Amino acid sequence: MGRLQGNEGNGPGTIAPDGSPVDYYALLASAEDAERVHTAIPEKASILELGAGAGRVTKGLVALGHRVVAVDESAEMLDQIEGAETVCSPIQSLSLGRRFDLVLMMSYLIETADDELRPALLRACAAHVAPDGCVILQRQPPEWYDTAAPFERTADGGRTVRMVDVRRPGPGLLAATMEYTVGDHHWSHSFVTKRLDDDYLATLLAEVGLRLAGFVAGDRGWVRAVPAAGATG
């Protein structure tokens, strides 16, 4: 994906091209997110995880018995992953010549403010999903854009997470900065993201041969899509 306009990061260690701090993300794991994905796919599924980062979700999917190919454009992020095949590549130029039971793209990557990049990300999803497989995309529910506000919370391991400098620089756009503190270490990650309403997202999916088939566990932040000729979701 490369450096995106409005996205930048600061702090100790390597900063990935999208502004994400590698050392911070290497500390994270989400069994809950992995379990959510697990409930929506077959046992021992083949999974292509796009934008896998340091394996926050990859670790849980591998532990649940799935065969994961983790893709990220940051080699330093991928160095943190064990138990999965890794591929260092931008998503939009990925061409593995293989298809998977699930193509997974999390971390709100689909909500990029780059209107030219978004279709390219979806084309990569469509090119790698099996005819009877599915695509799962993580986004913010559209109404989040109306209510998002600064916050501070303490997370696992004594981490402090803040969202600051929340702005709405244009129609459907939200800009903010995430701040992370662990002990004496501090990181920041500024980003710009774009609201994707259901109808708009359905249109984008149709343009690449996918069909919006519903939401994982009824959560509108987790979109499930299938090949347009595939079975109903």
DSSP for 132-148, please give it.
Answer: EEEEEEE---TTHHHH-
CB contact at 8 A, 121 and 50 = yes
Q: Judge if 8-142+195-227 and 144-193 fold alike in CATH terms.
A: no
The CA–CA distances, whole Å, from 72 to 48, 96, 156, 202 equal 11, 13, 25, 25
Q: Which residue has the tokens 């929506």?
A: 40
CB contact at 8 A, 195 and 175 = no
In CATH, 144-193 is 1.20.1260: no
Where exactly are the structural domains of the chain? 8-142+195-227, 144-193
Q: Burial, 85: exposed, middle or buried (Cβ in 10 Å; 0-12, 13-18, 19+)?
A: exposed
Q: What is the pLDDT along the chain (233 residues), one digit of tens a residue?
A: 544 556 899 999 999 999 999 999 999 988 999 999 999 999 999 999 999 999 999 999 999 999 999 999 999 999 999 999 999 999 999 999 999 999 999 999 999 999 999 999 999 999 999 999 999 999 999 999 999 999 999 988 789 999 999 999 999 999 999 999 999 999 999 999 999 999 999 999 999 999 999 999 899 999 999 999 754 43
**pLDDT (tens digit per residue) in 142-164:** 999 999 999 999 988 789 999 99
Between CA 57 and CA 37 the distance in angstroms is 9
Q: Burial, 141: exposed, middle or buried (Cβ in 10 Å; 0-12, 13-18, 19+)?
A: middle
What pLDDT is stored for residue 156 in this prediction? 81
Q: Detail the DSSP E strand segments found in 149-207.
A: 151-154, 160-167, 173-182, 185-194
What pLDDT is stored for residue 6 in this prediction? 65
CATH of 8-142+195-227, one of 3.40.50.150, 3.40.50.2300, 3.40.50.300, 1.10.10.10: 3.40.50.150
What pLDDT is stored for residue 1 in this prediction? 52
